[in-house]
Structure 1
Amino acid sequence: MSAPPKRMIRVVAAEITNDQGQYLITQRLPHAAMPLMWEFPGGKVEAGEGDRAALVREITEELDVTIEVAAETLQAVHDYDRYSIDFHSFAARIAAGTPKRIGVWDFRWVSADEFGDYRFPPADQDTIDRLIGLDN
């Protein structure tokens, strides 16, 4: 008998940059899955919601800022033990507000050279590889 198919979860993330070319990364809450790991901000797409709308909603909920979402930069599937992630990353910038720790433990503006100083979940690794030029 074959195992039941894994649940597929659609997730969106923002590659938010500032005028210095740094990326905004956020730290997961201590009680979240993969606690205290760093990631590109975003989250799950709700039923009936588009990717861009979900990303704007998630960033507002987590950081209390409004973003402008640009082009999709990456799509990848990541398999975990009990589920799979259909991961979509988008370029973005802050249109209004200053980031606050609302739904995240912490946040930082970092250069691509600094990504190695932080622990990221596997779903973010393809984005990091692309941004630092390892995806060739």
Structure 2
Amino acid sequence: MTSPPKSIRVVAALVERDGRYLITQRRPSAVLPLLWEFPGGRVEPRESDAQALCREFAERLGDAVQLQVGDLISFVSHPYEHYTVDLYLYQCAFADVSAPLETRSVHGFRWVTSDEFDELPFTPADEASMSQLLGEG
């Protein structure tokens, strides 16, 4: 009998500005290389979802932006071959919209409309989350 796959708790930020959403592209050396996703990452032990979002956001896009974490708006559990990702997507905003973003531990970032989601390759968990948000799933 095999044990169930390991479950990884991941949080992500849905940040909207002027009808566009912030997305990041994974590094070429990452698991699921060069796919797009909402910014965020793994929740560490003894860390709240909000703490993890703020830490991951700073690690990926710089600490000039102070992230305001709002309500949970989507949850998906997506099985991969050796683990399951439990993705919690939160509505977020910037405390200062003029704060600059940096490319740190991501390949790049973009602001896109929801119509552009279908034009870019996203991670499967983020695709499932987008389907929920757009009422397709």
TM-score (ref. length: structure 2): 0.92
Aligned-pair distance for 1:94? 1.6
1:11 maps to amino acid: V
1:15 is the counterpart of 2:17:
no
SS in 1 for 2:125: helix
Is 1:113–1:132's contact at 8 Å kept on the other side of the alignment? no
1:31 maps to amino acid: S
- What is the CA deviation profile of residues 22-42 of structure 1, one whole-angstrom value per residue up to 9, with x for unaligned ones? 100000001000000000000
Equivalence map 1:1-136=2 (5 Å): 2-18=1-17, 20-64=18-62, 65-96=65-96, 97-135=99-137
Aligned-pair distance for 1:109? 0.2
Unmatched tracts of structure 2, length 5 or more: none
Q: Pairwise CA RMSD of aligned residues?
A: 1.1
Number of positions where the alignment pairs a residue of Structure 1 with one of Structure 2: 133
Is 2:74–2:133's contact at 8 Å kept on the other side of the alignment? no
Q: Using the alignment, how far apart are the partners of 2:32 and 2:78 within structure 1?
A: 14
Aligned-pair distance for 1:132? 2.7
SS in 2 for 1:17: strand
Q: Using the alignment, how far apart are the partners of 2:134 and 2:75 within structure 1?
A: 17
TM-score (ref. length: structure 1): 0.93
Segments of 4+ moved more than 4 angstroms: none
Q: Using the alignment, how far apart are the partners of 2:3 and 2:135 within structure 1?
A: 37
Unmatched tracts of structure 1, length 5 or more: none
Aligned-pair distance for 1:125? 1.4
Q: Using the alignment, how far apart are the partners of 2:94 and 2:105 within structure 1?
A: 17
1:95 maps to amino acid: A
Aligned-pair distance for 1:127? 2.1
Aligned-pair distance for 1:131? 3.1
Aligned-pair distance for 1:72? 0.3
Is 1:63–1:99's contact at 8 Å kept on the other side of the alignment? yes
1:46 maps to amino acid: E
